[in-house]
Homo-oligomer: A and B are copies of this chain.
Amino acid sequence: MSCKTIQAAEIATGHIEELKKPISSRGISPKLVGFLANDDPAAAKYAEWTAKSCQETGVTFELRECKREDLENKIITANEDPSVHGIMVYYPVFGNRQDQYIQNVVDVAKDVEGLSHRYVYNMYHNIRFLDKEQTKKCIIPCTPLAIIKVMEHVGVYNPVLPHGNRLYGRVISIINRSEIVGRPLAALLANDGAKVYSIDINGVEEFTRGSGLKLKKHEVHETNLTTEDVIPMSDVVITGVPSKSYKLSNKLLRDGVITINFSSFQNFEDSVSEKASIFVPSVGKVTIAMLQRNLLRLYDYQTTNPETN
């Protein structure tokens, strides 16, 4: 009965400080362009937060609003503009697979969100670098990365265990298996040693670390388990259901569970604090910090070897 609620802003603070220092001491001003082509108030809010956070760190943020039918051409213009170092898009735009097409129109070298196929594929296959010379690290999809940072902050990762296995022994349920967050997150957590139940309306899949020669890639198994089976077994429950009406029943949660919500709607019941030991109601501000971390990395790759970009 003593749940600790931790806000994303608090978790983001340390990461923001880590960004401010090099940007200020090096006297640089990496430029991030955000494209807003929908009229989703959540996206506008997120853009506003991004602008504020960038102002704090010293990143130049430019919001470009456009009609969705003009978006592709505007991204291509930004791809070709050497003064732009990073590009992001506020999704959903079309709300269907055309959004995935758009994700791949963003130049890999400027993709701060890490949503282009090359980054997603490399993430699933634990390929850490873009190039053979290992000079350019791959970008990890932003929201999954932010959730990992949240989990590190709240002590889910055990630093006593070796790197790459710090979730060993943890059972984690994720209610969302989107290509943008849920599925990559499940793979990343499995690669770090957790047993992950990935839940969506079609069922429950189990993600675990590969063994033996397959150690480097997670394994996925379809199960006959239900949400009611797996939530009570979970040390950590992460929700991302894009619906105002969806609420995960508090009764399913085990005592002392760690709960994290990344949906823009609150997926846990108000009474979650009666069960959880830790509750993180949102992650957006951590995501914004990670966007800028990725931007700084891409900035360096572009400016160190400009001829190869």
Q: Please report A residues at the B interface, Cβ cutoff 8 Å.
A: 67, 69, 72, 95-98, 100-101, 104-105, 117, 120-121, 124, 178-179, 183, 202, 205, 220-222
Do A221 and B104 touch across chains, with their CB atoms under 8 A apart? no
Do A120 and B97 contact each other (CB < 8 Å), given the known contacts A69-B221, A221-B69?
A: no
How far is B100's CA from A121's CA once the two chains are assembled, in angstroms?
12
A-B contacts, 9 of them at CB < 8 A, read: A69-B205, A69-B222, A95-B202, A97-B97, A97-B178, A98-B179, A98-B183, A104-B117, A104-B121
In the bound complex, residues from chain B placing their C-beta under 8 Å from that of A101 are 117, 120-121, 179
How far is B260's CA from A167's CA once the two chains are assembled, in angstroms?
55
List 6 additional A-B contacts (Cβ < 8 Å) besides A101-B121, A117-B117. Answer: A69-B221, A69-B222, A97-B178, A100-B179, A101-B120, A104-B121
How far is B220's CA from A202's CA once the two chains are assembled, in angstroms?
34
Residue among A69, A95, A97, A105 with the highest chain B CB neighbour number at 10 A? A97
Residue among A101, A221, A222 with the highest chain B CB neighbour number at 10 A? A101
Residue in chain B with minimal CB distance to A100: B100
Residue in chain B with minimal CB distance to A69: B220
Residue among A104, A124, A202 with the highest chain B CB neighbour number at 10 A? A104
A71 to chain B, nearest CB (A): 11
How far is B220's CA from A183's CA once the two chains are assembled, in angstroms?
32
In the bound complex, residues from chain B placing their C-beta under 8 Å from that of A97 are 97, 100, 178-179
A23 to chain B, nearest CB (A): 33
A184 to chain B, nearest CB (A): 10
In the bound complex, residues from chain B placing their C-beta under 8 Å from that of A221 are 69
A185 to chain B, nearest CB (A): 14
A67 to chain B, nearest CB (A): 8
A183 to chain B, nearest CB (A): 7
Residue in chain B with minimal CB distance to A125: B76
A224 to chain B, nearest CB (A): 14
How far is B67's CA from A95's CA once the two chains are assembled, in angstroms?
29
In the bound complex, residues from chain B placing their C-beta under 8 Å from that of A96 are 179
A126 to chain B, nearest CB (A): 14
In the bound complex, residues from chain B placing their C-beta under 8 Å from that of A95 are 202
In the bound complex, residues from chain B placing their C-beta under 8 Å from that of A69 are 205, 220-222
In the bound complex, residues from chain B placing their C-beta under 8 Å from that of A98 are 179, 183
A235 to chain B, nearest CB (A): 24
How far is B105's CA from A183's CA once the two chains are assembled, in angstroms?
16
